[in-house]
Amino acid sequence: MSTVPTDVKTVQPADFKSDVHNDWCPGCGDFGVISAVQMALAKLQVPPHRVAVISGIGCAGKSAHYMNAYSFHTLHGRVMPSVTAMKLANHDLTVIGVGGDGDAYGIGGGHFVAGGRRNLNITYVVMNNDVYALTKGQASPTIAKGQKTKSMSEASIMDAINPILLALACGYTFVARGYALDTKYLSEIIAQAIEHRGSALVDVLQTCPTYNDLHTKGFYAGQIEGQPRLYRLDQTGYDPIVHNPDDPVEIAQKKAQALLKSQEPGGRIPLGVYYKLDVPTYEDHLKAKIPGLQEKPLAELDLYHRDITPNLQELM
């Protein structure tokens, strides 16, 4: 992550707001997520011009326009390839991917998998509201079997993807879950994700007031057997951190612990960091073999005066 130049004024969340009219529905959970991203960046004092925000397509995809940063509103499902290349082009930038659940886990599923095992130092915030909202509420990969929102013509006959489990299997080294309407805590989780050196997934439970009448504000505020449905892992003594990254047994145990937490019987949903592993990133491995990257990011290197004489001599 970039260091903050001393002559730059203190960065505020408002610095990350663009002046574009926001056309999300009133009460949309997306507002909470983008605010949390802005708060997290301000907390970490990253200046806007050192941030690249890359979004997919759909309501969540519009986030790029509402951010004041280098912003790319890309293609449906292709957040991760774009995030990957932006980070490779300039490893000093803070690169944040933003997309919906259909974008990340459906059409972008293959890229999501590869992004985990690559372990670049990037953050992926997934706005998970169980529906394809911009196309008027079709079922997304996170809607469970038997569930039917008011926008669906019939109940789903497929199982839901478990994003936490999927991320663990793919190799994300930071796996967390937030809730869009608890913006303050979400911003803390996102800040931790950005600070984490490695690929970080923040799956954000989110309401869609227009199409999802199952997972509403009331649903998430509800109780299960006298206990709140949503609760914070860090208030239960849960330790997500792998303390010895060289110990495969501890890695397996911490993954297993996260796995169990991601599918708690009874339907309670933990928020916070499920799993965190600190190991060398993709950039670290690249720097080890490509000397120039130890000095500067790729985009800042002079690659335009290369001598190919040795390449030609090899062919003589």
Partner 1 sequence: MIGGPQGSGLNVSAEILAKALSRSGYYVFGQIEYHSNIKGKHSAYKLRISGEHVSSHLDAVHLLSSLDEETLIGDLYHEFPAHRGHVHEIAAGGALLYDVEQKKFIELIDRKDIFLWEMPYAELLDRALTEAGKPGQARAYRIMTNTLALGASVGALGFDFEPVALAIRDSFGAKAGKVADLNVNAARYAYDYAKERFAGQLKFGLPAAPPKREQILVKGSQAVGMAKIKAGCGLQTYYPISPATDESVYLEGYQSDHNLVVLQTEDEVSAIDAAVMGAHGGVRASTSTSGPGFALMPEGLGFAAITEAPGPVLVLYQRGGPSTGLPTRQEQGDLLFALNAGQGDIPRIVMASGDIEECFYDTFDAFNYADRYQVPVILLVDKHMASCYQTLPPFKTSHLKIDRGLVKPANTNGDYQRYAFSKEGVSPRSVPGQAGGIFWSTSDEHDPRGHITEGIGNRLAMMEKRMGKVALAAREIPDGKKYIYLGPAAPQKIPVLAICWGSTKGAVHDALHHADPHHAKYAMLHIRLMSPFPAEAVKNILSRAERVVCFDGNYSGQLARLIRTETGVSVHHSVVKYDGRPFSEDEIMVALGAAKAGAPERLAISEGRVIEPGHGNVEFDKMLELRETNPKMLAPMVPLPPGYNR
Judged by the rule CB under 8 A, the positions of this chain that interact with partner 1 are 18, 20, 47-50, 52, 54, 57, 62, 64-65, 68-75, 78, 80-86, 88-90, 92-93, 110-111, 113-114, 286, 289-293, 297-301, 303-304, 306, 308, 310-312, 315-316
Q: Do 41 and 11 contact (CB within 8 A), yes or no?
A: yes
Taking the complex as a whole, the smallest distance from the CB of residue 204 to partner 1 amounts, in Å, to 22
Nearer to partner 1, 85 or 221 (CB): 85
Taking the complex as a whole, the smallest distance from the CB of residue 176 to partner 1 amounts, in Å, to 23
Nearer to partner 1, 188 or 283 (CB): 283
Residue whose token pair is 């937030």: 178
**Cα–Cα distance list, 279 to 91, 135, 210, 219 (Å):** 17, 40, 42, 38
Nearer to partner 1, 46 or 242 (CB): 46
User: For the chain, where are the E strands, in sequence order?
Assistant: 51-55, 70-73, 94-100, 123-128, 131-132, 138-139, 174-179, 200-205, 223-224, 227-228, 230-232, 269-276
Amino acid at 228: P
Taking the complex as a whole, the smallest distance from the CB of residue 49 to partner 1 amounts, in Å, to 5
Pairing of strands 51-55, 70-73: parallel
Taking the complex as a whole, the smallest distance from the CB of residue 198 to partner 1 amounts, in Å, to 17
Nearer to partner 1, 103 or 130 (CB): 103
Taking the complex as a whole, the smallest distance from the CB of residue 147 to partner 1 amounts, in Å, to 30
Q: Do 54 and 82 contact (CB within 8 A), yes or no?
A: yes
